[in-house]
Amino acid sequence: MSAKPFVKWAGGKANLLKKIDANLPPFFADEHNITYIEPFVGGGAVLFFLLSKYREQLGRIIINDINRDLISCYKIIQRNPKSLITMLENLQKEYYNCNNKEERGEIYYRIRDEYNQHRARGVRRAALFIFLNHTCYNGLYRENSNGEFNVPCAYYKRPMIADAHNLEEVHNALAGVEILCGDYRIIRDYLVGHPTFIYMDPPYRPLKEHSKNFSKYYRMDFGDHEQEELHEFCRRITGRRCYLMQSNSDSRNDDNSSYFKQIYNGFRIEDIVATRTINPTQNVVKKQSEVLMMNYEDDGQIIRPIF
């Protein structure tokens, strides 16, 4: 068994891995000193897939996310996950001993309050973060304007909170991985030219106007201004001969034209369809139009974007 994401994350890429794999730069087949950078690592589905399939080709691996508690979990699991596993097992036992929905909610909101009050540190805070992720609604991470985690309880009966085997696999997979925490621009200091591959999975632009609140998972918005700043950053990366792939929604402008096909004019864009869970308690899913944007052709030639 290979490592898989230890948290659920909005917009996870597990069902798009084959499409992403098919569109990797050709040098993944035989290069043995690739620098891989993922500046929006989230749950890490793409990271763990590439580590399982291409570890020999990856010479340097750098991951980053702006969520400090998520990155703290990665670092704790990388160093030694045993204390974290023990704490999660205790939390899972307490949750499983609940007799009804009311008792599950009582534990959930008590732990959410402890998390938001920042009383816990280190391993304890990491355990609270993972517990909340696996017991909150749809695994969503969302903060209010005060920076408080505000996702409601999902009242699952027996969620997997303490997956000891996978946490050990993640620990093994993260050996030698460089883990950063900050804005995605932090990766500028790590760009070394060919062969460098960067996979970006930023907050998605909403598909519909009434869904704009879903572009705000943290206190900071990631709206059109931020999407355009990211686009400018991607063009500059292209100028440094780094290979780039980005996922996003196939969001539309008011005239129904494709937002990303317009601003990423000159990049290679593949249309894809993702299956997203809308209501996990009722197994409600829907297919969603997305795009993969790449600054290289399928023969490996880097594209010169239109400025």
pLDDT tens profile 215-259: 444 445 789 999 999 999 999 999 888 999 999 999 999 999 999
**The dihedral formed by the CA atoms of 213, 215, 219 and 224, expressed in degrees to the nearest 10:** -110
Q: What is the pLDDT of residue 19?
A: 95
**Cβ distance 7 to 139 under 8 Å?**
yes
CA–CA gap between residue 267 and residue 305 (Å, rounded): 6
pLDDT above 70 as % of the chain = 91
| Whether the predicted pLDDT of 277 surpasses 90 | no
Q: Tell me the pLDDT band of 36, cut-offs 50, 70 and 90.
A: very high
Domain boundaries, the chain: 14-66+182-294, 75-165
CA–CA gap between residue 152 and residue 59 (Å, rounded): 41
CA–CA gap between residue 268 and residue 126 (Å, rounded): 39
How confident is the model over 258-274, as a mean pLDDT?
93
Q: What number does CATH give the domain 14-66+182-294?
A: 3.40.50.150
Q: What is the pLDDT of residue 212?
A: 45
Question: How many residues belong to the chain?
Answer: 307
Residue found by looking up tokens 């985690």 in the block: 149
| Whether the predicted pLDDT of 276 surpasses 80 | no
What are 160's two structure tokens? 């997997």
CA–CA gap between residue 64 and residue 185 (Å, rounded): 10
Q: Tell me the pLDDT band of 33, cut-offs 50, 70 and 90.
A: very high
CA–CA gap between residue 106 and residue 109 (Å, rounded): 6
Q: What is the pLDDT of residue 166?
A: 98
Amino acid at 207: L
Strands 243-249 and 196-200, sheet pairing: parallel
Q: Lowest-confidence range among 17-26, 132-141, 217-226?
A: 217-226
Exposure of 11 in the CB half-sphere (CA atoms within 13 A): 22
Entry pTM: 0.92
CATH top class, domain 75-165: mainly alpha
Helix 82-96 with 164-173: angle, nearest 10 deg: 150
Q: Lowest-confidence range among 19-23, 134-138, 169-173, 283-287?
A: 283-287
